[in-house]
Structure 1
Amino acid sequence: MSATLADLLAARTATAPDRVALEARGATVTWAELAALVGRARPRLRRAGHAPGARAGMLARNDPDTVVALLASVAEGAEVVLYDERTTAHERDQVAALAGVSGWHSPSAADHAAGPGPAPGTVPGAAGQAPYLGLVTSGTGGLPKVVRKHWGATLANAEHFAALAGYREDDRILCTTPLHHAYAFGVAVLPALITGATLVFAPHPAAPATLARAVRDSRATVVQSVPFLYRALLDCGEPPASAALRVCVSAGEPLSAELTDAWAAAVGVPLRDQYGATEFGQIGYAADTPGGPLRLVPGIEARLRAPDGSWVTAPGPDTTGELYLRQPAAGPVAYWGLPHLAEAGHVDGWFRTGDTGRLPAPGLVRVEGRTTRRISVAGRKVDPDEVERALLAAPGVRDCRVAAPPEGGAGHGDRFAAFVAVDPGVTEAAVRRHLARTLSSYKVPTRFHLRDALPRTRTGKVHLARLWQEAAAAPGQEEQEENA
């Protein structure tokens, strides 16, 4: 896509000035109003240093003020680095050092307060959109990474995804996850600009019942969320069924067949899996059959690498390997401040995803697990995904995460641990007995940490780093003997 964000805003303003562009907590902003707000914000942000060639840090929230500040800063030619407003000062300092930003801007109504600006309904000329922006990975297992994203490839990826998912200009896209992450950014925020759809921000944070009411009351036609929230919506006692709803996108962690079936039965709309990564944006989408292979988003190329390091030249439905990707329009993956990571992640120009999968037919991909999560036990490999599936089948187990501890980190004495959210009365002995009936003895975790619930990031992923920290701070436990 050759258009810039300023081009897209100008097009929306010219063709549908009175259509609602943004909606949050019942308040609406039309495309013409959005253009006027951006016009008023541009000189203020330019004075704050958001100028051509500058790299500007922006602390994002899911609200119109953040969208206005993003559009204004990009129109001024700045390279924007989006990060979570709720992060700590230490985390912000880490990211600022990596990305090379001198400070962080918190968007607010003051950015676009009444004052000198362009005439209503007009968009001033852009200073020239910078070629890159920065998105920060969640960093749940270690230090964050700032991915250098190519604007042209990022917009093209969002456009291709919107077409694959069947987005329309009359859609109302309900955004339920943080917009500074690649998932919401490429599945909700940018597609709204590209198609002219209305971007609706769900209440955040919100109890499942509140979110379920938001699905209904917002008249959303598209919902973007994660499996954890979809399950919570089903379990809250207020089914989020809506006559308007037609597209439900899920990403962030594997989507189970049980959840897919339960959602379709309760809501009447298929729950479609999406596979993505911050480095590439949207990679694959279940455009054809829920639960089936994902269709690669145009512009993304994939290939498999065998365990011996050779490329699989004739992949098929029965061939499993490690997935490698490339996005020719964007060039090689790059991280600001950590160039060695990107260099180490490429082989022959292809980027290692750390995922295992299949390429069952041209243009299709099936993701099966993570290679980088595999655990070595007495020389044998354990796939945590397999152990987690077995745990989730145990009576009274609601959620789980299986992992080896971070090297040198808290809990390093544990070789193989399971963090398990269970119902009251469920014991470790009962869980172990279930696994002993299901798995080989070497696949049973060395240590179990039973909890009421597992902490999660704002994108719905299990916060593994926090689990290890809490395990290390807990009173000492006698380590169970491993069955080898």
Structure 2
Amino acid sequence: MSAAPLAAALARWAAHTPHRPALEHESGAVTWEQLNARVTRARARYRTAGDRVPGRRVGILGRNHPDTVVALLAVAANGAEPLLYDARATAHERGQVAALAGATTWHTPAGEPAPTPAGPPVTASAVPVAPGPASPVSFGHAPAGQQPPARYFGLVTSGTGGLPKVVRKPWDATLTNAAAFAEAAGYRADDRILCTTPLHHAYAFGVALLPALLTGATLVLAPHPATPAALAAALRRSDATVVQSVPFLYRSLLAVGEPPTAPAPRVCVSAGEPLPAQLARDWLKAAGVPLRDQYGCTEFGQIAYTVGDPGGPMRLMPGVEARLRTEDGSWAVHDPDASGELYLRHDGGPVIYWGLPDLSRTSHIDGWFRTGDTGRLPTPRTVVVEGRTTRRISVAGRKVDPDEVERAVLAAPGVTECRVAAPPEGTEGHGDLFVAFLAVEPGVTETEVRRHVARTLSSYKVPTRFDLRDTLPRTGSGKVHLARLWGELSA
């Protein structure tokens, strides 16, 4: 199978609801008829650019804009494998991702050309759509001389050792998963889905973009990144019936005193980081609608969806299986009293990382994928997530790998040691900031280090604070004494 069901849905909405908005953005609205026409024209433009080799991997530097959606659909329809990545990524980050995925071209929809590791960049600007009916786009059966639609696409997630990971995503399993989530959450064709997180992240991709395309709902793209005030304004203007966001942004809306009022949304989905029970209670009181917790990851998409209170059991999505690996190395499928590391498998087959065959192999045990999360399985089809086994940091719903940040900091002139960490859970600032503790040579300033890191990493990966010292304190076993560092920082 391939991306055929997605394009079939696009053709269906263009034929039956041509004048209904498919996408809305601060730049204007795009109807289903117009979206279909733009994809048709973009396909021809990309074929001229050479994106017609089956299986060729083509990078798309995306942002929350209709043209990113057009580029994604057009590249997949031409038979290439789209690689969706952050338009704000640095040249260094783009080079790493392109090398892993084997991508030779970057498209920058409606933007300036971005440097590409191999070959000249191609800019795919929006093409004005003439009035009148559009020809349906068909992904299912390619006409003579055209390539069949792509079977795979790529999404980028944080990696270890300073490298990102590019996950190979099968279209068929991904679309099935998105449709199952839309049904579980109760999405409808007349919904208006407010997307507040980046489209190139698996969360927005699977909870907002794909469900909207599959159900015929209107996808409202909030500007990103957005201040709390800007987000509140977008929420007021959107008339959203579904909101997709992260705890950090829900908390920000409450802080500025503008939770959704009449007409209130029917569904509010939260993911990207654990949903605090107090935040869920505050939101329900202020907005009159519950926050629904969602558990997912780039490798699997939507894994589970809440069936009750935050922190309680979540129901596994159809096609996803879970089991625990306990401390003694044994497996547990259903034991209410057992806890351990969560392992998953799904109908899409084993997880594959482009360019990292060893990691693809070692991420599995007996065919089960290691999530790095700890939890319980109260029943065979429900899961409770309790924590992480790794050091990854969640900052406003975006994942930051401390190893990657530490490597960037250590590359700055005059830095001799570095340890990156988030405030301990339960303390002020947890979930909103993280700090780089570093030992430096005399004369090195925070400004110099910050500028160096900002040239290498995206802005959200730059530590909120740099704490410069002569040396870093150590424990008796030689490890960096984080508890002491945090204590001295807050003193």
TM-score range, shorter chain: 0.7 to 0.9
1:235-268 per-position Cα deviation (integer Å, ceiling 9, x unaligned):
1133333424111111111111111111111111
Q: Is the Cα contact below 8 Å between 2:264 and 2:289 reproduced in 1?
A: no
- Return the offset for 1:33: 1.1
User: Which amino acid is the alignment partner of residue 384 of structure 2?
Assistant: R
Q: Is the Cα contact below 8 Å between 1:118 and 1:124 reproduced in 2?
A: no
Q: Give the distance between the partners of 1:95 and 1:218, measured in 2 at CA.
A: 34
- Return the offset for 1:420: 7.4
Matching of residues 282-293 of structure 1 within 5 Å: 282-293=302-313
- Return the offset for 1:347: 0.6
Q: Structure 1 160/227 Cα, relative in aligned 2: closer, same or farther at 3 Å?
A: same
Q: Is the Cα contact below 8 Å between 1:216 and 1:242 reproduced in 2?
A: no
TM-score scaled by length of structure 1: 0.79
Q: Structure 1 261/101 Cα, relative in aligned 2: closer, same or farther at 3 Å?
A: same
1:289-335 per-position Cα deviation (integer Å, ceiling 9, x unaligned):
4442111111111011111211125422x2101100001x2110000
1:466 aligns with 2:466: no
1:262 aligns with 2:282: yes
Matching of residues 136-285 of structure 1 within 5 Å: 136-139=156-159, 142-285=162-305
Q: Structure 1 404/137 Cα, relative in aligned 2: closer, same or farther at 3 Å?
A: closer
Q: Give the distance between the partners of 1:313 and 1:231, measured in 2 at CA.
A: 35
- Return the offset for 1:55: 1.3
Q: Give the distance between the partners of 1:277 and 1:304, measured in 2 at CA.
A: 17
Partner residue of 2:92 out of 71, 90, 93: 90
- Return the offset for 1:224: 0.6
- Return the offset for 1:206: 2.1
Q: Give the distance between the partners of 1:228 and 1:176, measured in 2 at CA.
A: 11
Q: Which residue of 2 aligns with 1:104?
A: 106
Q: Which residue of 2 aligns with 1:437?
A: none
User: Which amino acid is the alignment partner of residue 128 of structure 1?
Assistant: P
- Return the offset for 1:477: 6.2
Q: Which residue of 2 aligns with 1:5?
A: 6
Partner residue of 2:343 out of 324, 329, 333: 324
1:342 aligns with 2:360: yes
- Return the offset for 1:275: 0.6
1:181-235 per-position Cα deviation (integer Å, ceiling 9, x unaligned):
1000000000001110000001223221121121122100111111111111111
1:355 aligns with 2:337: no
Q: Which residue of 2 aligns with 1:479?
A: 473
Q: Is the Cα contact below 8 Å between 1:165 and 1:287 reproduced in 2?
A: no
Q: Secondary structure at the match of 2:174?
A: helix
Q: Structure 1 140/196 Cα, relative in aligned 2: closer, same or farther at 3 Å?
A: farther
1:122 aligns with 2:135: yes
Q: Secondary structure at the match of 2:59?
A: strand
Q: Secondary structure at the match of 2:379?
A: coil
407-416 or 257-266, larger mean C-alpha shift: 407-416
Q: Structure 1 31/314 Cα, relative in aligned 2: closer, same or farther at 3 Å?
A: closer
Q: Give the distance between the partners of 1:24 and 1:32, measured in 2 at CA.
A: 16
Q: Give the distance between the partners of 2:131 and 2:367, measured in 1 at CA.
A: 46
Q: Structure 1 465/86 Cα, relative in aligned 2: closer, same or farther at 3 Å?
A: closer
User: Which amino acid is the alignment partner of residue 77 of structure 1?
Assistant: G
Q: Secondary structure at the match of 1:217?
A: helix
1:108-148 per-position Cα deviation (integer Å, ceiling 9, x unaligned):
29545258x99732224334221100000144873110000
Matching of residues 27-106 of structure 1 within 5 Å: 27-51=28-52, 52-106=54-108
Q: Give the distance between the partners of 2:131 and 2:73, measured in 1 at CA.
A: 15
User: Which amino acid is the alignment partner of residue 106 of structure 1?
Assistant: T
- Return the offset for 1:48: 1.5
Matching of residues 310-459 of structure 1 within 5 Å: 310-316=330-336, 318-327=337-346, 329-373=347-391, 409=407, 410=410, 419=423
Q: Is the Cα contact below 8 Å between 2:269 and 2:294 reproduced in 1?
A: yes
Q: Structure 1 38/312 Cα, relative in aligned 2: closer, same or farther at 3 Å?
A: same
TM-score scaled by length of structure 2: 0.78
Q: Is the Cα contact below 8 Å between 1:38 and 1:68 reproduced in 2?
A: yes
Q: Which residue of 1 aligns with 2:142?
A: none
- Return the offset for 1:14: 2.1
Q: Which residue of 1 aligns with 2:478?
A: none
Q: Is the Cα contact below 8 Å between 2:333 and 2:380 reproduced in 1?
A: no
Q: Is the Cα contact below 8 Å between 1:95 and 1:144 reproduced in 2?
A: yes
User: Which amino acid is the alignment partner of residue 266 of structure 1?
Assistant: A
Q: Is the Cα contact below 8 Å between 1:249 and 1:271 reproduced in 2?
A: yes
Q: Structure 1 464/37 Cα, relative in aligned 2: closer, same or farther at 3 Å?
A: closer
Q: Give the distance between the partners of 1:107 and 1:407, measured in 2 at CA.
A: 29
1:71-113 per-position Cα deviation (integer Å, ceiling 9, x unaligned):
1111111100000000011110110000001121001295452
User: Which amino acid is the alignment partner of residue 123 of structure 1?
Assistant: P
- Return the offset for 1:39: 1.1
1:113 aligns with 2:127: yes
User: Which amino acid is the alignment partner of residue 248 of structure 1?
Assistant: C
5+ long unaligned stretches in structure 1: 375-383, 386-397, 432-444, 456-461
Q: Is the Cα contact below 8 Å between 1:141 and 1:464 reproduced in 2?
A: no
- Return the offset for 1:362: 2.4
Q: Secondary structure at the match of 1:4?
A: helix
249-258 or 230-239, larger mean C-alpha shift: 230-239
Q: Is the Cα contact below 8 Å between 2:55 and 2:79 reproduced in 1?
A: yes
Q: Give the distance between the partners of 1:332 and 1:144, measured in 2 at CA.
A: 19
Q: Is the Cα contact below 8 Å between 1:272 and 1:290 reproduced in 2?
A: yes
Q: Secondary structure at the match of 1:276?
A: strand
Q: Give the distance between the partners of 1:140 and 1:236, measured in 2 at CA.
A: 36
Q: Give the distance between the partners of 1:201 and 1:155, measured in 2 at CA.
A: 20
1:383-441 per-position Cα deviation (integer Å, ceiling 9, x unaligned):
x99xxxxxxxxxxxx99x99987798449967896547999xx9xxxx9xxxxxxxxxx
Q: Give the distance between the partners of 2:300 and 2:253, measured in 1 at CA.
A: 29
Q: Is the Cα contact below 8 Å between 1:293 and 1:365 reproduced in 2?
A: yes
Q: How many residues end up aligned between the 2 structures?
A: 430
Q: Secondary structure at the match of 2:327?
A: coil
Q: Percent same amino acid at aligned positions? A: 58
Q: Structure 1 164/70 Cα, relative in aligned 2: closer, same or farther at 3 Å?
A: same
Q: Secondary structure at the match of 1:369?
A: strand
Q: Is the Cα contact below 8 Å between 1:157 and 1:297 reproduced in 2?
A: yes
Q: Which residue of 1 aligns with 2:453?
A: none
